[in-house]
Structure 1
């Protein structure tokens, strides 16, 4: 269920600061946008990935689907955070059926939860011979805590939809990247999505999953710190974070506050890169592709590029997606930084594996 890449489903990204919905029409690998909408959530409605006000969230989601004139009921959602575990593991070569029979036993050593409390899926990436000539295989293992999955699928069901696929943010980002950018076999790319409460760090080698880590820090940290340090209201702190003019606030007082938070986020990204390099032996990340609503925070992209000495490019999830003229191009362009996960979900099809 977790890996089925997934006719025309609803991509649904339920985040801490907004709910986003997309539908994409696919013809021979080319995608056209047919529906896209998003609505902001009050900061107390979903906190650190936990749904605090399900009644209001259901109402907002129901209205969003209605406003977008979406008739399909089949939805693709994704999860992230500490309730999600993704590991690339090496196992003795076996058939997919054999692995399906033994996966729970194999996974116990990699999953830090009671194995009975998670839903699991796997994907065999490739096979190889080890130094002793024994046949091995790289397997991508994903596990999600059952209570977290139920929390989000219940919300979707209460809004009148059917969650037919539950994905993981990291895989949605990978799908989005692969439909919009040319994949080079010799290139290592970091996809970084800085959301409201979470930063997804996903590393691809030759377009294939290599590493992922979710860090519990994002755009909300800017807002909270600006509020506290400068004595601003939530709304004014949000405006200041986005570079809008706020009475009594100048760059002399604001910039150091923003830089301190940026430093925290970049330090976590640096730490994640270190974990990847230690595990893989790969010393070089060729490029960072940056997305997420908080990626537009003042000077963040430049700061990230300088600290990691790695080229940074802003992700455009609509780069190769056909946008019909009835869509407001300015709205789509402004929303692009926040749409990476939902576009990836919109590429999924029930027939995929």
Structure 2
């Protein structure tokens, strides 16, 4: 496949890359070397560059540029309501909307926004604007650009997770126009965290990050088997000695499920007009049927794999669950 721009998602456990062109995709999920990323922080930039370059070569990823999902630990995303103003005024005011979230000099951050809605008064004059706004340290962008440049990739686009899914949802709605007003709950079960994002159509509505993920399963298995969690992950991936059915593993599934349902129940309580019916699983944890089955049993919502939302030619791909964000980034270009 020939595509100039690759979607990239660098997680805590895996590097995910995606190429997308004319409905066809190539997806790659490669396990990161031990201790290369710790709590979202890339420990060795040179080693990460070499690893990305190696994965590109092994999987024949010929892209010269990339679109990157911003790490949750370094980016801030907000829904913002402001009086109607010019672009210059907005550029001046936007940093103040993040004053309770960022540390240090506000000028050391990049800010960007997308207009959700412009509200007009009875005379047809703009009165208020609803925005999606994001902030990220300039140093973070510089570091990632350097890592990717050494790997042979020019950083072209960066987006927070919340906005990355929009391209995937727009594509699905284009193929299913009657779903333009449907509510979607996407649950991305990652290595260290589980991210819950709710959309109405392709418009982001709410999100929550839980400090639970696949690493908790690895840790539980490691304690039972008396092995290192990094080694335990290989047991989990292959379900060696049926470790996914251990009582300790089941306890982790239940804990994650309970926390997810708390979030969804709170959303329903806070939004009494909501008609949220559908949950879609992605992330590496979505590949663990024992975990997704446990969540399914604890909710009255319908649950699906992310294949349901993906382009038909991509649905069923082995790495789709893990590579969903990378694919969404590639689809948006």
TM-score by length of structure 2 reads 0.85
Q: In the TM superposition, what is the alpha-carbon distance from 1:122 to its structure 2 partner?
A: 0.7
Matching of residue 205 in structure 1 with residue 200 in structure 2 = yes
Judge which range, 262-271 or 299-308, deviates more: 262-271
C-alpha distance in 1 between matches for 2:139 and 2:8: 19
Match of 1:340 in 2: 324
Root-mean-square deviation (Å): 3.0
Provide the secondary structure at the position in 2 that maps to 1:160.
coil
The 1:66/1:243 distance shift into structure 2, 3 A limit, reads closer
Match of 1:9 in 2: 5
Judge which range, 180-189 or 271-280, deviates more: 271-280
C-alpha distance in 1 between matches for 2:114 and 2:160: 13
Provide the secondary structure at the position in 1 that maps to 2:307.
coil
The 1:96/1:233 distance shift into structure 2, 3 A limit, reads same
Q: In the TM superposition, what is the alpha-carbon distance from 1:73 to its structure 2 partner?
A: 1.8
> What does 1:100-249 correspond to in 2, within 5 Å?
100-105=91-96, 107-109=97-99, 111-114=101-104, 115-128=106-119, 135-180=127-172, 182=176, 184-234=179-229, 237-242=232-237, 244-246=239-241
C-alpha distance in 2 between matches for 1:44 and 1:89: 37
Contact 2:27 2:323 in 1 (8 A): no
Matching of residue 19 in structure 1 with residue 15 in structure 2 = yes
The 1:148/1:275 distance shift into structure 2, 3 A limit, reads farther
The 1:193/1:150 distance shift into structure 2, 3 A limit, reads same
Q: In the TM superposition, what is the alpha-carbon distance from 1:345 to its structure 2 partner?
A: 1.0
C-alpha distance in 2 between matches for 1:346 and 1:190: 21
| Structure 2, gaps ≥5 residues long | none
Q: In the TM superposition, what is the alpha-carbon distance from 1:85 to its structure 2 partner?
A: 1.5
| Structure 1, gaps ≥5 residues long | 1-6, 324-328
How big is each residue's C-alpha offset from its partner over 1:111-140, in whole Å with a ceiling of 9 and x where there is no partner? 343433422111111123589x98222111
Q: In the TM superposition, what is the alpha-carbon distance from 1:9 to its structure 2 partner?
A: 1.3
C-alpha distance in 2 between matches for 1:101 and 1:233: 50
Number of corresponding residues: 325
Contact 2:64 2:154 in 1 (8 A): yes
C-alpha distance in 2 between matches for 1:250 and 1:111: 38
Contact 1:200 1:212 in 2 (8 A): yes
Match of 2:40 in 1: 49
Judge which range, 170-179 or 155-164, deviates more: 170-179
Q: In the TM superposition, what is the alpha-carbon distance from 1:151 to its structure 2 partner?
A: 3.3
